[in-house]
A and B are shown apart, each in its own frame.
Chain A
Amino acid sequence: MKIALFATCIVDAMYPRTAQATVAILERLGHKVVFPSGQACCGQMHVNSGYFKEAHSVVANHVAAFDTDDYDVAVAPSGSCVASVKHQHELVARRCGDAALEARAAVVGAKTYELSQLLTDVLGVTSAAEQLGSYFPHKVTYHPSCHGMRLLRLEDKQLNLLKSVGAIEMVELPEADQCCGFGGTFSMKNADVSSAMNADKAANICGTGAELCSGGDASCLMHIGGGLSRQGSDVGTLHFAEILASTLENPVSVSGAVTLAGSKR
């Protein structure tokens, strides 16, 4: 299968390892990965901040980059960005009176998958250890991000993939379904409420005794990890793609001090 990678802007700029891990997993399964070079961002920061007019050109750019027959399916290592592509793009086009873009956005949205969706529903991965050689001998807890959980209905797809990694010890996160408080510009506009939500998330994570908190959205992991780092905690955050990509021969290192979604290694 020919798979187009939508890296997402935050992974592209801040967490390239997450995208590299995504490529590694897909290639290990024997698929060809392409990277449409025109891609930039899904535009949800603009949309969720109310800047629909500015979102229009961002959405148009994404649709132009991915509206080709050059690939079978598109994938992104983010529930939130995929939800934006699937649910917001048509809305933005409609609001800006761009019917042609609306139609093309629907086509692109239908072909776009979140990583765990693609691995589970399309590529039939049931055991990461057996099919991907995933090996990660660490104690890990998992935060399901809101948009993956509620907009994409990913259910336990990410968690089940993590549980099937060799040598991993998964511990349950209390109140896992509670938002970490990121919410894009919410974290700055309503910084106090956002910080209070993050503090509770951090306390729950630390209470599990896990070395790491994994998840499927780099933005939420940056938020949670940033809070843990500020508190001086040793607990880091790591995208599940990087854990799936980790093998006995080429392990992802989590030693050392705080890791913010893998940035410090």
Chain B
Amino acid sequence: MSNTFLGMPALPVYGHGNLNATEPFPKAAHRELGNDQLRANLGHATHTIRDKRLRVVSELPDWEEMRNAGSAIKNATMANLPVLLEQFEANFTARGGIIHWARDAQEANEIVTALIRETGESEVVKVKSMATQEIGLNEYLEEQGIAAFETDLAELIVQLDHDKPSHILVPAIHKNRSQVREIFLREMPVVDPNLTDDPARLAEAARTHLRKKFLSAKVAVSGANFGLADTGTLTVVESEGNGRMCLTLPETLITVMGIEKLLPSWTDLEVFMQLLPRSSTGERMNPYTSLWTGVTPGDGPQNVHLVMLDNGRTAALADEMGRTALNCIRCSACMNVCPVYERTGGHAYGSTYPGPIGAILSPLMTGIKSEENNSLPYASSLCGACFDACPVKINIPEILVHLRGVDVDSKRSARKIPTQMDVIMKAAEWAFSSGSHLNILEKGLPLGKLVAGRDKVIKKLPGMGAGWTQSRDIPAPPTQSFRQWWDKEHQPESGVDHQSTTPEGAQA
């Protein structure tokens, strides 16, 4: 490589912000598993959404074709992203919008802050947005003396409780309604002291709390579900209507959107408006869909900004095996069906993006070596439920395995002393790369039987094996392997016709 400036930054530029596991997943999972209330809340919530999704998906005869279409549109978008981004910019700008490009979380936060400062305001209302969670916008604004009010009910609960979201669609999935009631009573400045945990009463309390903010806010910050390149239109899909108020009432609207959120054309939206609600909330159609294209004089926000966020997306795009992770439309179906997420909750993943998609997206965006993100690809039994549920057919298990490979390879050169895992894998390579090698090992099977003793089970293994024996026995091995049995039965000189023998298994 020459040092001449060629006008392109060196790849990959990794993402920063709330994208990291800060402790190894097994350690975080151990802690979260100990929280019985969390597990009960999560088990109930994920199973409810799971069943709802299955019901509405199974009523569509062309669901699989729709998934194929969604996947194809997203693949085409990623293959042509530079062109589509410029097309979107031209159309958005032509309609009076202003585009800002942010390489990473820091740049995006600075841009948003400067835009708010220009208005002279020190308060903003917010529409639920993953991108602004990812860059840690609320915390950054607070440091700059700007107060950001979340208006989505669940985001509000989490914000009032000074907690972090644990699910991308249902941020407060880890809290039940009696916990929500306690939070409201404790944190809302004006609240009915007789508030019950009836969902309608809780929603009313939130509505009363938020209404004043909506009517007085001059600036709103939002994310976007889709950006349509051929018209320069932005889209927010939501359930509560708070988003619609934020997007229409204030004078200034600042949207932060990842560069992968584009769709080539307006007509592509048809596919995703069918895929997204059914996959996320299990609804045939979401209650509120807002679309806006630049500025409409005299109607809605007159200052319309869009911050286009990279923050590691280009790095993910550069990974040939992993890039389809960018096809994600943030429906959260994968986490609702994931047996690991169901038991650990979202906080165990550290990143803004939890669950199966987070386990691939976070390390793809930050690089495998960032903090503890190399533990995330292992946070899966590879059961494949996520791939089946994904509306854009992201092969999450295959990308998890790919990233495990990236992790292992990233350590090969750096490591002086091999880990226990390295040693086991090297030994297994020898044993499993030849029938005769395996046969030699299997001659030691009676030894295992000896270890098992009279109980005929092994209850304690050393090293990594201790993970297994913490809750599982291992049966005493047989006295001979199948291979040894077969060889004895099929020795040519023995004259035994194996067709006539009765295998041991059938008589036992």
A:169-215 near B, CB below 8 Å: 177-179, 181-199
> Complex formed: what's the CA distance from A264 to B480 in Å?
14
In whole Å, how far is A39's beta carbon from the nearest beta carbon of chain B?
A: 6
Assess the A20–B381 pair: CB atoms within 8 A.
no
Is B382 an interface position by the 8 A CB rule?
yes
Assess the A227–B471 pair: CB atoms within 8 A.
yes
B:403-452 near A, CB below 8 Å: 403-409, 421, 425-426, 428-429, 431-435, 437-438, 441-442, 445
Assess the A263–B435 pair: CB atoms within 8 A.
no
Given A13-B442, A13-B481, A150-B384, A260–B475 Cβ distance below 8 Å?
yes
Given A13-B477, A16-B480, A192-B26, A246–B384 Cβ distance below 8 Å?
no
Binary flags per residue of B281-298, CB closer than 8 Å to A gives 1, else 0: 000000000000000000
Contact of A58 among B339, B406, B432 (CB under 8 A): B432
Is A103 an interface position by the 8 A CB rule?
no
> Complex formed: what's the CA distance from A9 to B442 in Å?
10
Given A20-B504, A24-B506, A187–B26 Cβ distance below 8 Å?
no
In whole Å, how far is B351's beta carbon from the nearest beta carbon of chain A?
A: 17
Given A191-B468, A197-B343, A230-B471, A40–B485 Cβ distance below 8 Å?
no
Query: Which residues in A have their C-beta under 8 angstroms from that of B382?
Result: 48, 146, 183-184, 186
In whole Å, how far is A196's beta carbon from the nearest beta carbon of chain B?
A: 5
Q: How many of chain A's residues touch chain B, expressed as a range?
A: 35 or more
Given A21-B506, A38-B435, A225-B475, A12–B482 Cβ distance below 8 Å?
yes
A:211-246 near B, CB below 8 Å: 222-223, 225-227, 229-230, 241-242, 245-246
A:30-50 near B, CB below 8 Å: 32-33, 35-41, 43, 45-50
- The binding surface of chain B is classed by DSSP as helix
Given A14-B477, A16-B478, A191-B467, A181–B339 Cβ distance below 8 Å?
yes
> Complex formed: what's the CA distance from A35 to B486 in Å?
8
Given A54-B428, A226-B472, A263-B456, A12–B483 Cβ distance below 8 Å?
yes
Is A23 an interface position by the 8 A CB rule?
yes
Residues of A bordering B, CB below 8 Å? 7, 9, 11-21, 23-24, 27, 32-33, 35-41, 43, 45-55, 57-58, 60-61, 65, 91, 95, 146-147, 149-151, 177-179, 181-199, 222-223, 225-227, 229-230, 241-242, 245-247, 250, 252-253, 258, 260-265
Residues of B bordering A, CB below 8 Å? 25-26, 29-30, 33, 339-340, 343-344, 377-385, 387-388, 398, 401, 403-409, 421, 425-426, 428-429, 431-435, 437-438, 441-442, 445, 456-457, 459, 464-465, 467-468, 470-478, 480-483, 485-487, 490, 498-499, 502-508
Query: Can you list 16 pairs linking A and B with CB atoms under 8 Å apart?
Result: A12-B442, A13-B445, A21-B506, A32-B499, A41-B432, A50-B405, A53-B409, A179-B339, A185-B464, A188-B464, A192-B30, A194-B467, A198-B472, A226-B472, A226-B473, A227-B471
